[in-house]
Amino acid sequence: MNSISKYAKLVKFSHTIFAMPFALISFVYAVKHSPDGLFQSSPYWWATLLVQVVLCMVFARNVAMGFNRWADRKIDAKNPRTATREIPAGKISPRAAMWFVVINALLFIVTAATINWLTAALSPVALGVIMAYSYCKRFTSMAHLVLGLSLAIAPVGAYIAVCGTFALEPCILAMLVLTWCGSFDIIYALQDQEFDRQNGLHSIPAKFSTRTALNISSGLHAVSILALCWYATFLPQNWLTWSGAAIFSAIIIAEHILVTPTRQRNIGIAFGTLNGLASTTLAIFFIASMLIG
């Protein structure tokens, strides 16, 4: 159990709550809109597929965070805020962390291959994106958006798992996730603004002033709300759909009330608590709307 706990901390497993709710929203939408007669073998065909999608999410998350911690181990050791992470603190060796990444990458590819040919073909591409993020801050301040893209894969992948094809709706949801994640990652990066500048690392806060960084974050969140409203038009038009959209919007607006250029002590609450609450609440309302509608 101690080893499991160490690896769960290594990959911040609790942060799965950021992308998983959007994958579930997209999954339910795809099931509700899958072509008639696509699955006739069992009335509960979706249950096995749901397990496969969730497993893919878990394995991909483990690869993304495990590889990030491995790639950043020397940087983390220099940063007082991250020096206590599992690899720089000596709780998990770099070699063990890499084996963890390799095993989870193989499990992800194998699981994706059991779903359909398109998920199988795209699984290495997805791994490439989520692993590439770890090196982006070494050469571009747009790393926040690459992180957003890595999470945005989730709703598109869940839809493809069900329908075996691309569609507009999951791509709109992906745009919501990309800008929402990119925005809150800018807020999170404020903690390392000076460290990044001193060590030649790239981020929006390191490149611009705190006020400008927060303005960029606000702009991305505005795009998130627009994408949210657009996606909501494809769902049943009832109070659940629009209440969920309203609550999600209110929560991300609250982030910008809590974190300002002169008040940054609430970054932890804004990053973890509020974003986890936003994604979970949205999923509950949207899924309930689709099931009832």
- pLDDT tens profile 54-67: 999 999 999 999 99
Cα–Cα dist 126/134, whole Å? 14
Each residue's pLDDT, cut to its tens digit, for the chain (293 residues) gives: 566 777 766 766 556 678 999 999 999 999 998 765 455 456 678 899 999 999 999 999 999 999 999 999 999 999 999 999 999 999 999 999 999 999 999 999 999 999 999 999 999 999 999 999 999 999 999 999 999 999 999 999 999 999 999 999 999 999 999 999 999 999 999 999 999 999 999 999 999 999 999 999 999 999 999 999 999 999 999 999 999 999 999 999 999 999 999 888 878 877 778 888 999 999 999 999 999 97
Question: Which DSSP state fits 165?
Answer: S
Angle at alpha carbon of residue 67, lines to 140 and 159, rounded to 5°: 85
| CATH 3.40.50.1220 matches 2-292 | no
Question: Which DSSP state fits 191?
Answer: G
> Cβ distance 140 to 188 under 8 Å?
no
Alpha helices by DSSP H, the chain: 2-10, 20-33, 45-71, 73-78, 94-113, 117-136, 143-163, 168-189, 193-198, 204-207, 210-232, 239-258, 267-268, 275-292
Instruction: Write down the pTM of the prediction.
Output: 0.93
- Structural domain boundaries of the chain? 2-292
Sign of CA dihedral 267, 272, 276, 279: positive
The token pair that represents 156 in the structure block: 């598109």
The token pair that represents 118 in the structure block: 């398109």
What is the residue whose two structure tokens read 């992906």?
174
